[in-house]
Amino acid sequence: MSLSAPTCIGASVSRIDGPAKVTGAAKYAAEYVAPDLAHGYVVTSRIAKGRIRRIDVSRARRVAGVIDVLTHDNRPQMAAQDDAYRDDVAPEGAPFRPLYNNRILFSGQPIALVLAEDPEAARFAATLLGVDYDEEPHVTDFLGQRDAAVAAPKGAFGPPPARGSVEAALEAAPVRHDADYYVPAETHNPMELYATTAIWDADGRLTVYDKTQGVQNAHTYLCGVFGLKPEDLRVMSPYMGGGFGSGLRPQYQVVLAVLAAKALRRPARVVLTRAQMFELGYRPAMIQRISLGADADGTLRAIAHDAVTMTSRYEDFYRQETGWSGLLYACANASYAHRLARLDLPTPCDMRAPSAASGVYALECAMDELAVALNMDPIALRLKNYSERDQHSGDPYSSKNLRACYEQGAEAFGWAGRAPEPRAMRDGEELIGWGMATGVWEALQMSIGVRIVLSANGHAEVSCATSDIGTGTYTIMAQVAADMLGLPLQDISIRLGDSTLPRSPVEGGSWIAASVANGIAATADAIRADVLRLAQGLPHAPLAGAGPDDVELAEGCVVSRADPSRRTPIADALRHARLERIEREHLTEFAAPKLAHNTHSAVFAEVRIDEDLGLIRVTRVLSAVAAGRILNAKTARSQIMGGVVWGVGMALHEETLIDPAFGRIMNANIADYHVPVNADIHNIEVIFVDEPDAEINRLGVKGLGEIGIVGVAAAIANAVYHATGTRVRDLPITLDKLRR
């Protein structure tokens, strides 16, 4: 019998990096100092397409404190091949090359870097550059390019294969729903600006402090761009003030900072402005056509989901936008199509729950509209078509407790008290609406390396190159290590965000928690075997004859699981072997899944709408989530709450507006680009539904970062319809759309 059950995994442990953050001890990319540091300010293009004819830098160079101005004409050497600029998550195409040549691909493209002794001088000098262009006609109107869109290339993110006969099933269905749904482009606005500090050493080596979600991805990228030897470059990002997908790929400021350091042979820093952040990547706008056919009892007979999304001219960025429709509900006939509108804009990138946040919005609004047509409760319609198998592959789920999400969420929300007719619920001058939607995401896991150093003094250091983008990775790593090594949490230290540490994928897709937790467990197994071997070398060893699976590490000892009285202190075992520490590094790989792996949720929303003014308040959101084993109840709840807040923004606030005449973003600041503020957010409740999963991995862990936003916008949109009887299918839902 085990000595003790794990005490850290699952507990509501406060973030171990919290004190460093609130006291200012945690350093971010723009906070590292070095002697003789040069400051760079980026000058960007005023046109959307064409070529630079001439850049006059003479006035800028005369400003006191200006060191140099780098352009495509005088920058240090960079690679000439596209492959050198292709990072781990790059889409197909020719990646953007900052300051490479005189070609302009989008408005806001970096065209020069002013370097000065202080940031103020650099910023002022940047205003003095004279730039002449040969402008070419550009196209940035996404809606106007809908008919010109081309089929997305077949590949990992291509639409799933169709099944059955959709057209015939739709024609024969007694109840049909067909509608278009629109999601605008949305821009990442993490709190921390993108920044890089590149430290040039006398021997030519570089240490780069970068805001990134993948230090090793950035390391490989920079080595390719500049022809650096891997050992001559170190990339670090121990803290990150939000990424949400915008930092999966290396952003252009890291190239400019290294260019500056190489050109000047001294440290250099580049920090982007908030307006420049708007040109780094965005959730692509999407037009979706959903067609549903059902029997009178609600049984789905056909699903057709077509999508058009935007991408750049130079890369084909897309995700599997339409496949979620065929995944969630049992339906014998389903078809999918995905087309790309190529525009003179920067390439989009992943934003929290890429494809699912947009695709599930359309699906779940369409399901709500079908429920209205059937005069059927929205939950009943979903339960009628509940599937125990992945509809694409036919594989059963390793675990799926979505049914309990519906049940527990509805009970806690009070769904039984909902009057089904629109405009039937009110409080004085406010109309009240209740809506719900389903959420789904992939439960992914990636190969990952972990190093554990266990010292004779009872301290363990756990290292991995992964990032903590604010999700609590430091903390969950420490919790898992504490339980696996049998040590108090305070005796665990975590190192991450350093390219020299054991291998890690980029931090995204909700795969890091599951991957690194199981990586720690596997590495701890090797540590436990080593400790046992050393303990068995002691005279009269109490654990003689025991195998690694017969013992556990607990209370600073290696202990027999069957007889806890048989134990040896770890310190005694190491001292007898004359060792100060044991070190193990292990690469954990995950077998190709034989079962479907997904997380699920049921989201319930209440809105109150002023009947005269059309002002919308989201007064309650409840999210019931089935996501396997929860590693930390506190940080997990925080993740879901953050996703809900973002879902409110997606439903009611966020929209990146592009002027087609200039190809320029018109609201490139967080005053005009609306996001929820404290006054917009009211009660949020999170329920974690128990979902044991012995198949997905040894710890039964699934990711949580993405699922929190999926379904939220749809639940709010459905609540708005229930309150008003007006169906708004294009986001964000603003009062003018309610009044039209």
Would you name the residues annotated as active-site residues? Answer: 706
Alpha-carbon gap, residue 737 to 731, rounded angstroms:
10
Q: CA of 640: how far to CAs of 513, 601, 643, 684, in Å?
A: 15, 10, 5, 9
Alpha-carbon gap, residue 740 to 735, rounded angstroms:
9
Tell me the sheet residues that pair with 353: none
Name the residue among 42, 33, 75 with its Cα closest to residue 197.
33
Residue 605 · residue 621 · CB < 8 Å: yes
Name the residue among 42, 467, 60, 68 with its Cα closest to residue 255.
42
Residue 217 · residue 395 · CB < 8 Å: no
Percentages of the chain per state (helix, strand, coil), in multiples of 5? 30, 25, 45
Alpha-carbon gap, residue 548 to 538, rounded angstroms:
16
Residue 329 · residue 370 · CB < 8 Å: no
- Listed as own residue / partner, the contacts of 668-677 with beta carbons closer than 8 Å and 24 or more positions apart are 668/108, 668/187, 668/274, 668/275, 668/278, 668/279, 669/274, 669/275, 670/189, 670/274, 673/187, 673/189, 673/278, 674/649, 674/732, 675/189, 675/649, 676/645, 676/648, 676/649, 676/652
Residue 212 · residue 235 · CB < 8 Å: yes
Q: Are strands 492-495 and 460-463 parallel, antiparallel or unpaired?
A: parallel
- Local structure of 270: helix, strand or coil: strand
Residue 599 · residue 625 · CB < 8 Å: yes
Torsion of CA 158, 159, 161, 165, to 10 degrees: -160
Residue 395 · residue 451 · CB < 8 Å: no
Q: CA of 388: how far to CAs of 330, 343, 402, 597, in Å?
A: 8, 40, 10, 12
- Local structure of 10: helix, strand or coil: strand
Torsion of CA 393, 398, 401, 403, to 10 degrees: 30
**Residue 173 tokens, joined:** 């269905």
- Neighbour tally for 514: CB within 10 Å: 28
- Neighbour tally for 290: CB within 10 Å: 26
Name the residue among 494, 621, 466 with its Cα closest to residue 13.
494
